[in-house]
Structure 1
């Protein structure tokens, strides 16, 4: 390994240590307690050294949020791949994976969506944050088929599902805990109900796979 590669690896290790330290502080004391000085003290670096990697706390939290969206997307995609070819079954498993991620990585979820904290200040949309919606929309498109205004219909049903799931997650994360069994039952019944309205015979939606025009 050349000197340039060693330097780059060293810098990447420091960058990862900074992110891990910020996440540890956020988990232990809450995101409002995270500061560049506390991170520096945690990894025994000077605050100016931290700013060489992230020019602000907001930039650091934005990167953590981006990594959170990558993890979430991976779980959703894995759930889809582990299911059969029935779009409804896929959606149920994908939303269950979303739900599981929110509680397994609740501190990341908080900064990704601003639950009980200020959402990270993002000047430009994070491309990675759009991947989960794209994954869900693709499967919803299989149910919608080739119909007029298919894009609007897909968006409508995605946000109907997301707003319900995110709302139920938020209720639990802010301390108003529902029993797990009841929460999961509500989740399954609600998502099933939304999907059933989409595929109801009265909708006259074609069952041909939806293909987004490019």
Structure 2
């Protein structure tokens, strides 16, 4: 292995170490505890070394946020593939979204700490774009076979996502880390109503 390859590998390993240390800190102490200084101490490097890999703490948070969106997109896609019709897909995707939010609470809190991302943010990051596309395309398919195919799919998408995020947020605030059975029943009832409004 040449010098250039070794340097590249070392840089990638160091970047991975930074992210691992940061994630361990988040899991043990929460997002508010994360700092460049603490990360540097954890990996036993100087603060400037961290800045060589990430411009600031927000850049590290963005990296984790993108990982979260990628994981959520994967969960939605897997759920959607289990049933044949768009209406059923929207329901199982809602269940998958709910499960993701509590199985990966640290990701979810970061991804939605400031609410649903603005359109500009969605368009800037492929991971967010992919996740929203899964929802939007399923809603479009449901509308195409409905009695009102000309309905505003983007409005319906915002309604769908607002229901999901709203119910998850209420459950997180009210019940803490673990959701209760009633919360999921409310979600399923809301999704039944939403799907009925589409057709």
Common topology (TM > 0.5): yes
Matches within 5 A, 1:104-123: 104-114=103-113
Shift of 1:128: 1.6
Distance 1:112 1:5 in 2: 34
Match of 2:189 in 1: 189
User: TM-score, normalising length from structure 1?
Assistant: 0.80
Match of 1:139 in 2: 138
Matches within 5 A, 1:1-214: 1-81=1-81, 83-114=82-113, 125-145=124-144, 150=150, 153-177=152-176, 180-199=180-199
Count of residues in Structure 1 that have an aligned counterpart in Structure 2: 191
Whether the 8 Å CA contact 1:109–1:115 is kept in 2: the answer is no
Question: CA 1:23/1:155 → structure 2, altered by over 3 Å: closer, same or farther?
Answer: same
Shift of 1:33: 1.2
RMSD over aligned CA atoms reads: 2.4
Structure 2 unaligned segments of length 5 or more: list them: 116-120
Structure 1 unaligned segments of length 5 or more: list them: 117-121, 200-214
Distance 2:166 2:188 in 1: 14
User: TM-score, normalising length from structure 2?
Assistant: 0.86
